[in-house]
Amino acid sequence: MKTIALSISYDPEVSGVYTLLLVDDEKEIRSGLSQYFPWHEVGFELVGQCADGKQALDFLETREVDVLLCDIRMPVLSGLDVARRLHERKSRAKVVFLSGYKDFEYAKQAMAYGVKSYIVKPTKYSELFDVFSSLKLELDEAAARGAGEASAAPTASFNEQVIAAIREYVETHYAKATLEEAARVVHMNPHYVSKYFKDKTGENFSDYVTAVKMNKAAELLRDIRYKTYEVSEMVGYSYAKNFTRTFKKVHGVSPREYRNNYEGSGN
């Protein structure tokens, strides 16, 4: 049963990508975490691997990192020793512990040293993904705040910028808008963007896309140059029946009824 500590750092030359140092005395664990977890998908670059705490501190003397993922029980220096020394140095590196021990005493000590998370093994992919997705967002927000403080001009918050970029993408490419492409625009993982958008707006990404499509459809239906089936295709629906069903669900009337009502109003 093992514990691992993880250290992450921001690389200013690669916007939104943060550096990660993996520290564990078991080669198999280092190999598994480095080869089989998609660090780049959650915005991290694995820049080094160390077999004990002393090696990790020596590494950090030559290169700063944003995050340290570290085993707690290791020879020479434990993960707690590493976290304590980084805390004393006021290091900006964030620390995440990965451990096979459900030991809350370790967790309390880790919190005292500013450790960001404590993951108990066997680690679930989804938990590792969620922890590092959240950590990336925290680092992004800190970087955005730093940039805003350095600038005299007022800037929108990082969250506002991300949501605005996603909305702009959807409103511009509503006919073919996808979660995957929206994620590419903001340099995030699609699974994370889905959760992020819901958390920040209170609306599912798919519902937002549908709303944009249907609002655009209503606008197009008010233009007599377009037939209903043409409007359906213009907003991304290959099958007119699907378009009609969705439009009625959003607007309360069918596309034909909407057009007739609009024309009947004399507009």
**What is the structure's pLDDT at 156?**
59
pLDDT of residue 247: 95
Which parts of the chain register pLDDT below 50?
1-15, 152-154
pLDDT of residue 151: 53
22-73 pLDDT, tens per residue? Answer: 999 889 888 888 888 889 888 899 999 999 999 999 999 999 999 999 988 8
DSSP symbols for the chain = --EEEEEEEE-TTSTT-EEEEEE-S-HHHHHHHHHHS-GGGGTEEEEEEESSHHHHHHHHHH---EEEEEESS-SSS-HHHHHHHHHHTT---EEEEEES---HHHHHHHHHTT--EEEESSPPHHHHHHHHHHHHHHHHHHHHHHHHHH-SS----HHHHHHHHHHHHHHHSTTT--HHHHHHHTT--HHHHHHHHHHHHSS-HHHHHHHHHHHHHHHHHTSTTS-HHHHHHHTT-SSHHHHHHHHHHHHSS-HHHHHHHHHHTT-
Residue 13 has a pLDDT of 37
